[in-house]
Amino acid sequence: MDRDELLGLLRAFEQEALEYVLIGATAMGLHGIVRATEDADLFVRATPENLARLRTALRGVYPDDASIDEIRDSDLLGEYPSVRYYPPTGDLYLDIMTRLGEAANYDSVEKEIKLVEGIRVSVATPAALYRLKRDTLRPLDRRDAAVLAERFGLKDTD
């Protein structure tokens, strides 16, 4: 997924009034911390209506992709509320979640709106990203947390 493709996806999210928040490296990039990533991570509000808007937005960008129908409410509202969507371009995939265990969900993650090329993008704040990444087992997440802490003056109490 190149930048134009990602912008098209974010534009579709805005047009469909999808309730989402970008997290992970894509969100970090919108805060000025750029690193390579293979995916775009996002939380979506866990309601059937919002999940329908998600599928509609994806169909707007990838109209011929029948695999969008495989993103089911029962998955995202179930015990393991996460799906990985591979757009037909194959360049980058989406990790779509309604919650991350008991640690975080759409409602609990502090978010802000960034204007990106005229598109209103919901993105986790630097402090929220720091909290999501600082205590994980993945070394990459811990490095991300350290960079966020340094850049934004964050501490463990944030």
Per-residue pLDDT of 86-119, as tens digits, reads: 999 878 899 999 999 888 999 999 999 999 999 9
Residues 6+ apart with CB under 8 A from 104: 43, 131, 132
> Does 136 score more than 70 pLDDT?
yes
Q: Is 66 domain-assigned?
A: yes
Q: For 15-41, write each residue's pLDDT tens digit.
A: 999 999 999 999 999 999 999 888 999
Range of the domain at 47: 3-148
In-domain check, residue 8: yes
* Structural domain includes residue 71: yes
Q: What pLDDT, on a 0 to 100 scale, did the predictor assign at position 73? A: 95
The H or E element that residue 56 is part of is helix 48-61
Count how many domains the chain has: 1
Domain for residue 156, yes or no? Answer: no
Whether 157 is in a domain gets the answer no
Confidence of residue 157 (pLDDT cuts 50, 70, 90): confident
Position 134 in a domain:
yes
- Measured CA to CA in angstroms, residue 51 lies from 76, 84, 141, 154 at distances of 8, 14, 28, 33
Q: Which residue has the tokens 């000025």?
A: 32
C-alpha span between 99 and 42 (Å, rounded) = 10
Evaluate whether residue 57 is within a structural domain. yes
Average pLDDT over residues 142-155: 96
What is the rounded distance in angstroms from the CA atom of residue 13 to the CA atom of residue 64?
18
What's the distance, CA 58 to chain centroid?
Answer: 14
Does 155 map to a domain?
no
Contact 65, 25 (CB under 8 A): no
CATH (domain of 113): 3.30.460.40
pLDDT above 90 (res 122) = yes
